Every structure is written in structure tokens, then in C-alpha cells.
Chain A
């Protein structure tokens, strides 16, 4: 007993770290486990009954689930592209140009991030109804709402990257015979790109899993989060866990690829 206490004392930091990690990853582990759950013929859907590959082999079996997934991915893709382009342009204007009302503009762009989603969602609904779109709520209204709330996050992310960019680099490019166009595409864009990419990934995940604002403005359109919410009333189909696990694995691959790239760069730096 004493020995064990001693060991824990010595390894307190690492022990705590592992405990926190377990705390953070248990939900993912449970989701992954449940994706192999054979729930057929059981009333209690939240208990592991038996192992099966069926959920992974027939992910689209639950009625409407894959359709909702398709809607969510489509909305997320379009919202990401539009918000990233608009947000990047706005960031350039905010960082690079001095104009009247620049600081007010800065504040106004960040404000939506601080607005409770439920407030933003209901005011958007009011707006859509007032604009005569009350009868046609759906894909388009969801898209408008998603682009709106993604914009602020894109601006924040790209702006930070752009503000950290030494403007002398562009001057140096111009000095070395690059015209404005070449300077932008060969120097500015490649250097700001990591920020734009990060902003796009953030926008995608924000859009993909938004529920509150979407739910208020969706009309009859069902997104994936709404499908999960709806089916949770009756008992979640195990295939939801398959989608969840797949999403988790995809983001894991993206993060790992980024990390490997960063390590390779760090290794190159160490070779001075």
C-alpha cells in the first residue's frame, strides 16, 4: 500500500494526465464500442448486448439517417466555402486597410460569437418569417444561418495569422520584381494559407454539428444532429455510433497528418 502511494506520488503528473485523458476519451470509446452492439430484439438500447459487424456493414439502414447526413455534409461544405472566402476577404480588409469605422467593424464581427445560439436562432427565424420566407424554411435558410455564425470564427482565425505576417515580406517581393498579383499568390497567400485552412476546418465542424440554430430555421429539412436528437426520443439506432466513430477517426487522421508535418518541420529546424 505504502509502495503504491509512493509510486503515485512520483508519477503524480503523469497519473493525473492519464486520468484526464481517460475522462475525455471515455465517451468516444463508448461510442466506438456501441457501434458494434447488436441491439436487435432488445428493449434497452443503451446496453451492450452482443458483438456484431452488422451496424458497420449496413450503416444506412435506419430510415432517413444517411439522407440527413448527406444534407449536413452538403450544408457544411457550402457554408465552409462561402464563410471562408468572405471571412478571409474581411480579414484582409480589417488588417491591411485603415478606414473609417474599422474598430467598430472589428467589434461588430466578433459580437455574434458572444450571442447565445438560442437568441441568434430565434431572431433569424423572426427575420426569415418577416422576409416572407417562413413557408420555405429549409436548406437555404439553414445555409444562410450557418454562413452567418461561421463568419466570425473564420475572421478571428485568419485575422490572427494575417496580423502576425511581416508586411516587409510583401515589400521584399515587390522589390524583387513581383507585381501585386504575383506577390499575393507567391508570398501572401501561401503564408496565410495555414490560417485559412484552420478556419475552414473550424467552420466545417461548427456547421456540421450545429443543432440549436438549425432546429429553429430548418422547416422540414432534417440534418444529422436533428436526426440524432429526434431518434433519441425513441432509442438511438446503433448506426449513429458508426457515423460518430467514423467522424472521430477522420478527424484523428487529419490531426495526425498535421502533427507529422509539424514534427518533420521541427526536425529540419533541429538540423541547424
Chain B
């Protein structure tokens, strides 16, 4: 870690652009500042340009336009072996003909580090691989190989560590434990980690800041909490968790400054949305409500929670998941909405299919998106 007197060594991408020779544009004028020492995630579906971005930072892919800087040092045209950057590859890319110790020692040896043996010993201990030192990569399990890949990069103490879907090849249980492990190591060594993944849960668990990428551009950047509670585009709303998007018309504005609200009519119910959660200037918009923010109550019984509500929705589907139940509701105007309910035992059972229910929500959780965007964007294929 650097003291305050040293200049900050943030990773700065300015106008970074990648166009392949076949005409495909993978990354479109990306501007991004990744603060030194942070755990940063680039999240997006496959083909969104996140891996290309990572490879440009590593120097494994040529930059079409724009610059890459660490602090004030421009590394845009630098050869990969001259950058203070190391990568943990997607399938680890361990050298099959070298032992674990030789794999880890590869970087220090190329840089001509003299005391590499003691460094190797140290990093083997940190990653709990001491007993595997003499083995070949093929003799290790997936989780062990993953740790070798991490050790091989970390031993070089790069200023930026790039992780390309590092946990993609592991099974769910191992992935969960490695998520914690990675986070712990990052906090211990204090290096900048840039983590590329398509797994929103992985990004949200580990990263301080997440940038959601789509079609070569960053859709939104922020903390996992900001991204989830206040998405700015339909893509983010659907890709990070799930969202109900309902068509609405702006009917008026009230207040000013921080208290300003936009009033939106959706099928007869008027919702007041804070200006900070409104992401369109148009008079039409998508009103977004997260499924777990919707509360349902069989018609005729009193609503537990104050707020906006609709009546006459019909339960047409229910998936019981143990901790929670996912209901599908058919609204009077024909649209289907999702509603996730914690199974806290308040209701004393599931709501029967075909039951007419009232639906309520607190309007401070609602967000308004631009109606020109595709309501299906970012939704997983089902």
C-alpha cells in the first residue's frame, strides 16, 4: 500500500476502443477510472466486451484507439511483459510441463528476481499449496489449480491483478468458498483487482464497485447496492437481479431540489418517484419494481403495508424454493408480474393458484426508465 504522499496509481482507461479486423466493434470508447486498491468488477453477458477490455489492459490485445494509464504512466502500447499487470486466466492456463513451484516461479525468474525461492515458499503457504509444490498441474483438483493461477500472478506483486472469470470452471460450492478466499487475499495484499464475470452474484459478493457492460459500453457503474436498488437502464434492471417493468405515463411534477418527485400514472394508479430515481425525460416510461418489493394479500383481507396498490391480480404460478416462494401474477391489463415472498410463516401456507390478490408496494423503491429501451434487454433466455 502506498502512503498518502505518493501519487495515486489508479488504472485509467480513456476513450478505449477496440475494433477487430472483421469490422466487429467489441469495445466502444470506454472511459473508466479504477481506484488503486479497489476490488472492481466488470459484469456483463458473454460478448459484451469485458474480456476484450481486460486483455487490452494486459497487453494481449491491441488497442484501436484510446489510452490505458496506471497513475501517470501510459502503458497503452507497452508489451505485455513490460506492464505491472498480471492476469489470472479463465481456464488458468497453467504450464502443463512445469511443476507447481516452477509455474509460480516463472514470473520472478523472468524478471531476474534473486530471492525467488523464498518468495515461492511464502506464496505457497499463503495459498495453502506447499504440499503440491512438486506436482504437475494435471495432478491437482480444479480448486487447487485455481489457487496456483492466483499464486503465479500474485507473486509478482503487480499493481493491477486482472481476473478473467476466475471461478467459472469451479462447481457452485467451491465457487462460494473461493469468493470469500479471493476477497480475503485482496484485502490482505491491498492490490487493485479487476474481476471480469458474467455472474451477477459473484460480482456483487466480492466487488466494491461494479461496472455493468453491454455491447461494448458501460451501462452503469456503482456499488452493488446502488446498481440493484436504482438501475438506470432496462438492461441493468434485468441483468442484475430481476425486475417488473410496467408502462406508465408522466402526469406531473412536484416539489423541487432533493425532494422533487415525478408523478407517473400506471393503469390508474399514480406513483410518485423521486427525481434521483427517474432516468428518462420522456413523458412515457417503464416503471420498475423489484419482485421482492411487491407484497400480495388475498382480496378482502386488509393490506399489511401502506403504499401504492393494485387490486384484482390473479396468482397463476407459484414456485416454492424453501426460503422463498416465487409467484407469477396476472394483472388486470394482461401483463404478468413476478413477486418473491419470504416464507416467514406469516401466511400459514402458500397462496393457492387462481386466488385474486391485492398487490402493494412502497413507492420509494420504484424507479423510472426510458420507454424507448427494450423491456426485455438483459433478461436471461428462458
Do A and B share a complex? yes
Docked-complex contact B60 and A176, CB < 8 angstroms: no
Select the residue from A168, A177, A182 with max chain B CB neighbours within 10 A.
A177
Shortest C-beta distance, B97 to chain A (Å), equals 5
Docked-complex contact B95 and A187, CB < 8 angstroms: yes
Cα distance A187–B94 in the bound complex, in angstroms: 10
The 4 closest A-B pairs by CB, nearest first: A177-B110, A172-B93, A176-B107, A168-B93
How many residues of B are in contact with the other chain, CB < 8 A? 30
Which residues of B sit under 8 angstroms from A272, Cβ to Cβ?
Answer: 139-141
Docked-complex contact B110 and A176, CB < 8 angstroms: yes
| Proximity bits, A167-196, B CB within 8 Å = 1, else 0 | 011011111111100100011001100000
Select the residue from B86, B110, B140 with max chain A CB neighbours within 10 A.
B110
With beta carbons under 8 angstroms apart, the residue of B87, B111, B156 that contacts A172 is B87
The verdict on A269 contacting chain B, using a C-beta distance below 8 Å, is yes
Which residues of A sit under 8 angstroms from B80, Cβ to Cβ?
Answer: 171, 174-175
The verdict on A26 contacting chain B, using a C-beta distance below 8 Å, is no
The verdict on B365 contacting chain A, using a C-beta distance below 8 Å, is no
Docked-complex contact A191 and B97, CB < 8 angstroms: yes
Docked-complex contact A176 and B89, CB < 8 angstroms: no
Docked-complex contact A171 and B60, CB < 8 angstroms: yes
Docked-complex contact A169 and B95, CB < 8 angstroms: yes
A interface: dominant SS? helix
The verdict on A233 contacting chain B, using a C-beta distance below 8 Å, is no
Which residues of B sit under 8 angstroms from A187, Cβ to Cβ?
Answer: 95
Cα distance A12–B350 in the bound complex, in angstroms: 64
Shortest C-beta distance, A120 to chain B (Å), equals 38
Given contacts A171-B60, A268-B136, A178 and B110 within 8 Å (CB-CB): yes
Cα distance A182–B111 in the bound complex, in angstroms: 12
Cα distance A169–B92 in the bound complex, in angstroms: 9
Docked-complex contact A171 and B89, CB < 8 angstroms: yes
Which residues of B sit under 8 angstroms from A182, Cβ to Cβ?
Answer: 110
The verdict on B368 contacting chain A, using a C-beta distance below 8 Å, is no
Which residues A143-182 have CB closer than 8 A to chain B? 166, 168-169, 171-179, 182
Which residues of B sit under 8 angstroms from A63, Cβ to Cβ?
Answer: none
